[in-house]
Amino acid sequence: LSENPEGNLTPRQVEFSRTIHGAGTDLLNLISDILDLSKIESGTVSVQAEEVFFASLLEMIARPFRHEAENRRLTFETFADPALSQSLVTDAKRLQQVLKNLLSNAFKFTEQGQVRLSVLKAQGGWTTDHPILNRAETVVAFEVADTGIGIPAEKQRIIFEAFQQADAGTSRKYGGTGLGGSGSTFTLYLPQMYAGPTSGSPAHAPILSMSMPPVIVTPQDRHAERVADDRDRLQSGDSILLIVEDDANYARMLYVLAHDTGFKALVASSGSEALSLVREFQPVAVSLDVYLPDMLGWTVFNHMKLDPTTRHIPVQVLTLDEDRRHGLSRGAFAFLTKPISPENLESAFAKMKEYAAPRRKRLLVVEDDPAEQFTIRELLGHDDIDLEIAPTGAAALRAVQEKTFDCMVLDLRLPDMSGFEVLEQLSQRKGTSDLPVVVFTGRELSLEEDIRLHDLARSVVVKDVESPERLLDETSLFLHRVISDLPLEKQKMLDRLHHSDDALVGKKVLVVDDDIRNIFALSSVLERRGMTVLSASTGREAIALLETTSDVAIVLMDIMMPEMDGYETMQVIRQNLAFRRLPIIALTAKAMKGDREKCLEAGASEYLAKPVNTEQLLSALRMWLHR
């Protein structure tokens, strides 16, 4: 409704619709909050770290309070200190809980005047022996100020205890139980958990302030041993390696090895710290452990590859061998499997150092048609890469034997042999099985070709694309090209690929969900983008609909359904060879560790957790439909 596609809502009605949606989301979060109280008291609450932009945070928090301020004739203002950076890495949901609690109480006890929410660069206000804030280079303060009744100094501590109010008589005049929106336990405990104190001001100037570093420190991090690194000794021109490893002893070993290889090294013990460091210092390479205390390393990896400013940074992943092809096909530079011998580690770091050194990347294009050769050269060529043409399969195999290439573009139809034979020989040769290959045919693969390519993908890194935009996108990923260094028209092409709805218009999408409300919500979003929405409320109904409808382009599959769940439904769909390449995006409210792997094993192409973020959903649809 807030997007007002038919243009029949007034600006005030649009704002009301946003408020209604926000209130519904808040109600859902409130139910989760009540369940979280027991976790907090038992010390088992978990942290979900992500980048939060101050402007978006203030707008999201302020929106539901603006109407209350208008109705009660109060002035309500928000302010972000320009001396701060644009964002911080924290648990957005928990931070919003605390700030909404503070604002809710400020409005409740303010009858006239104003309420102000500010984000400031803090200069003090915490104890001199604080273990985290004293070490932080910058401290962010969230401040709620009002002209209300104030809090006596002797009462400032007890208001942060669950079910407590400064004056029992306030409940008769202002209402409330002392729970504080979603629990004053949150208001006290969560700031402590994320590093900073919540404090009250004297009664004559009612201000509540919470301080925290720009990157949260989780309970696991507090007990983790800090490994000394080079962040205070960096100089211009240094070759910086970011080591992401929560095992302090292993991190020290990698740190020493990085120095021996010629790197300056930064060490991050958590995913949130890694994301902060990679954006701040722009390292030339990253060594990433998959198992981290606050998030999987894959989450860090995905954040880096979705961000145009960090997408080009080579990432070496330390994980299980079964993740190898999955990661390499999504742009990982190399893989190491623990335990690793010292010799293999030294070799891997030397390879990473050599790759990270400034040089022109090498691209081999295997194509016999002169017109196609010209088109691909115009599309991909620039002064940051050396592009060579091989007109036959034999010429391509000779080229990779004689020279080192960073990526190959391959046509499956060649005059002397098929592209499949080229791929098979690459997989059998030492040193070429990890060469990323982008298969570009300009047409949809036949069922037999797709099955053969799928089997080969287990032994060779291969991606098939059918559009010039996808070809530019995939080769840029594998070549680790700096997007901002590309010509402007190619930057725009990539931006359209990731943000335009052209690939969605006219396509049929099947939404499978047993809750009609979810079908309605998804349909309204997708139909506004020009998609034709079909729906099924059971797995069997979805299978029958697919078998009788020839042009379904993509499926959104709920997992938790009665009788036949999403896992079983996807397995049955994949048994039909006609649906081997049909993109299926799994949607589930169970955002638990292992769910993603279980969905992919059942046949899902992608996995998204409920409640579905609209932009994430649209991004996934664009990627799978813009082949």
Report pLDDT digits (tens) over 69-106: 888 889 999 998 888 877 777 777 778 878 887 888 78
The pLDDT of residue 264: 94
pLDDT band with cut points at 50, 70 and 90 for residue 572: very high
The pLDDT of residue 160: 47
* 166 pLDDT above the threshold of 50: no
The pLDDT of residue 30: 63
What is the DSSP annotation of 584-619?
Answer: EEEEES---TTHHHHHHHHT-SEEEESSPPHHHHHH
Quick one: what percent of the chain has pLDDT higher than 70? 75
The pLDDT of residue 569: 95
Which residues, 6+ apart, have CB-to-CB distance to 295 below 8 Å? 48, 49, 270, 271, 272
The pLDDT of residue 100: 83
The pLDDT of residue 125: 67
| Domains identified in the chain and CATH numbers | 40-217 (3.30.565.10), 223-356 (3.40.50.2300), 361-499 (3.40.50.2300), 508-625 (3.40.50.2300)
The pLDDT of residue 584: 92
The predicted model gives 438-458 an average pLDDT of 71
The pLDDT of residue 568: 94
Lowest mean pLDDT among 41-50, 399-408, 436-445: 41-50
Asked if residue 219 has a cis previous peptide bond (ω within 30° of 0), the answer is no
The predicted model gives 349-378 an average pLDDT of 91
pLDDT band with cut points at 50, 70 and 90 for residue 55: confident
514, containing H or E segment = none
* 593 pLDDT above the threshold of 70: no
Measuring CA to CA, which residue among 100, 153, 101, 142 is closest to residue 120? 142
* 192 pLDDT above the threshold of 50: no
Q: How many residues does the chain have?
A: 627
Kindly provide the residue ranges of all beta strands, DSSP E only, lying in 194-284, ordered along the sequence: 198-200, 207-212, 240-244, 264-268
Whether 289 and 300 have beta carbons less than 8 Å apart is answered as: no
Whether 114 and 79 have beta carbons less than 8 Å apart is answered as: no
The predicted model gives 150-160 an average pLDDT of 53
- Residue 114: strand pairing partners: 75
The pLDDT of residue 394: 95
* 548 pLDDT above the threshold of 90: yes
Roughly what angle, to the nearest 10 degrees, separates helices 595-602 and 566-575? 30
326, containing H or E segment = helix 324-328
The pLDDT of residue 256: 93
254: left (phi over 0), alpha (psi -120 to 50) or beta: alpha
Distance CA 439, CA 326 (A): 17
The pLDDT of residue 219: 45
What is the DSSP annotation of 357-424?
Answer: SS--EEEEEE---HHHHHHHHHHH--TTEEEEEESSHHHHHHHHHHS--SEEEE-SB-SSSBHHHHHH
Q: How far is CA 23 from CA 17, 71, 93, 181, 577, in A?
A: 10, 17, 14, 13, 45
Mean pLDDT of the chain: 78
* 360 pLDDT above the threshold of 60: yes
* 201 pLDDT above the threshold of 60: no
The structure's pTM equals 0.57
Whether 512 and 522 have beta carbons less than 8 Å apart is answered as: no
Measuring CA to CA, which residue among 72, 475, 436 is closest to residue 311? 475
* 372 pLDDT above the threshold of 70: yes
- 191 versus 538: the higher-pLDDT residue is 538
* 41 pLDDT above the threshold of 60: no
* 190 pLDDT above the threshold of 50: no
* 214 pLDDT above the threshold of 80: no
pLDDT band with cut points at 50, 70 and 90 for residue 176: very low
Distance CA 468, CA 464 (A): 12
The pLDDT of residue 293: 75
Phi, psi of 360 (to 5 degrees): -85, 125
- Residue 511's identity, in one-letter code, is V
The predicted model gives 391-407 an average pLDDT of 93
pLDDT band with cut points at 50, 70 and 90 for residue 109: confident
The pLDDT of residue 595: 65
The pLDDT of residue 161: 45
The pLDDT of residue 469: 83
pLDDT band with cut points at 50, 70 and 90 for residue 158: very low
Asked if residue 339 has a cis previous peptide bond (ω within 30° of 0), the answer is yes
Lowest mean pLDDT among 211-215, 236-240, 314-318, 396-400: 211-215
Lowest mean pLDDT among 2-6, 106-110, 162-166, 584-588: 162-166
Phi, psi of 586 (to 5 degrees): -85, 135
SS3 category, 512: strand
The pLDDT of residue 596: 65
Distance CA 136, CA 142 (A): 16
Tokens of 106: 């400020």
The pLDDT of residue 449: 76
